[in-house]
Amino acid sequence: MALTPRGDVLRTVMDYLEIESRDSVDRRRDLWRSISDKFIRTADGSYTLKSEAGEAMHTRVGALTEAIEKFVKPTVSGIKDDLRVLDLCSGLGYNTAALLEFTDASSVTVDMVEISAGTMATALIVPSPNPAHKIVKGAYEDFLLSEGLLSLRTSPPAPSGIELRVHCGDARAVVPLLEREYYDAIFLDAFSPRVAPELYTVEFISLLAGVLKKRGVLATYTSAAPMRAALIEAGFHVGQGPVFGRKSGGTLASMDPRMVRKPLDWRDERMIALSDAGIPYRDPELSADALEIMGRRRVERMSARGVTRISSAVKTPLYLGSEQVEGRTGRRVRRNLSRIGIDDPSGPEALYIICPQMDECICGCGEDRPASSRDRVISMRRRLMDLVNLRHLADKAG
């Protein structure tokens, strides 16, 4: 089931627009007065609305400000010619509005993908926080008019050099229809993986890899380990995005490591590489619902824990290389490590596994230092599997 904004608001909006279509009278200001108490006005003048699951669509700092800082600046700064952007889960249109306000590219093409026509209709009712948002409203109006869901166009046409193309549907079905290696940037702004994992699976992220230019950048506000693991498995280099309006920074990803300037924190690298928390979401047929996807990952985590991955409990991998692991936490760490064949948190096996994160070799391997977070994650995971396989061989020989 797709996660969308509150159904009561969307139904009210669609009912009003049906009356507007019947009477050919613009009733949108009246509608806003009747539903404005369902919205939260944020610091930059934009409005946010909670989903059915109670998750806010934007931060209280403001959707426009967050869009500029987390999506636009890190991905399209410096592009002066043709700019092509894929805006996934375009919602009320704030990310594209922020892009249009920020960029000075000579021409801009944005493919906006939104699963809910009701959300698009709601964007027409919400007061525009900047002039560019009215251009987005016009694109939404054109789509709703073409679908017979609207009868009046009240927004100005897009200026020359700006093309906004609206797609209403599940992004998993829309993205395969898009041109390959076409986009300079992808804004992945779905609800969080913990409630809506459909657009954070290895399979969907792999689709995005196919439509992004080699030097293109994908941006998302989330820093969730399974999402970052999916990016790495799909071939992306990953790094930290700006910290803005939330507890942690988002994620930036590109096929070109030079486009990812700030690596992941070492703790994030290690948890993704070595623990069951770093097992990604999977959706082989690109059609499963959220519960099925989460259930599949839960089963995979349970089967891997203590077998091919270190338990994520008490963030056990973070203690590898530590000589002082004491008390109750220490006992849990040692127990979790022993299950996978590591007897000492600071022993040779532990040092071998985490060596790729060190500035100099600490295990005697003499290998070159991995240059990126992706390379370090892959190297640590390979080393863990080396030890797991050696243990299995020893068990068979014994």
How does pLDDT run across 271-282, given as a tens digit for each residue?
Answer: 999 999 999 999
Range with the poorest average pLDDT among 34-48, 100-114, 187-201: 34-48
Range with the poorest average pLDDT among 9-23, 107-121, 323-337: 9-23
Phi, psi of 303 (to 5 degrees): -75, -25
pLDDT of residue 396: 77
Domain residue ranges in the chain:
7-270, 306-397
Q: How far apart are CA 201 and CA 309, in angstroms?
A: 19
pLDDT of residue 390: 92
pLDDT of residue 341: 93
In terms of Cα–Cα distance, which of 169, 172, 239, 177 is closest to 201?
172
Does 2 have pLDDT greater than 50? no
Q: How far apart are CA 264 and CA 251, in angstroms?
A: 9
Does 58 have pLDDT greater than 60? no
Q: How far apart are CA 125 and CA 79, in angstroms?
A: 32
In terms of Cα–Cα distance, which of 68, 49, 70, 46 is closest to 244?
70
Are 221 and 249 contacting, i.e. CB atoms less than 8 angstroms apart? no
Does 3 have pLDDT greater than 70? no
Angle at 55 between CA 275 and CA 313, to 5 degrees: 20
pLDDT band at 52; cut points 50, 70, 90: low
Residue at token pair 């979790």 = 336
Does 59 have pLDDT greater than 80? no
Phi, psi of 165 (to 5 degrees): -115, 120
Strands 251-254 and 212-220: what pairing?
antiparallel
Strands 47-48 and 40-41: what pairing?
antiparallel
**Which SS3 state, helix, strand or coil, does residue 122 take?**
helix
CATH number of 7-270: 3.40.50.150
Q: How far apart are CA 243 and CA 253, in angstroms?
A: 15
pLDDT of residue 1: 37
Does 388 have pLDDT greater than 50? yes
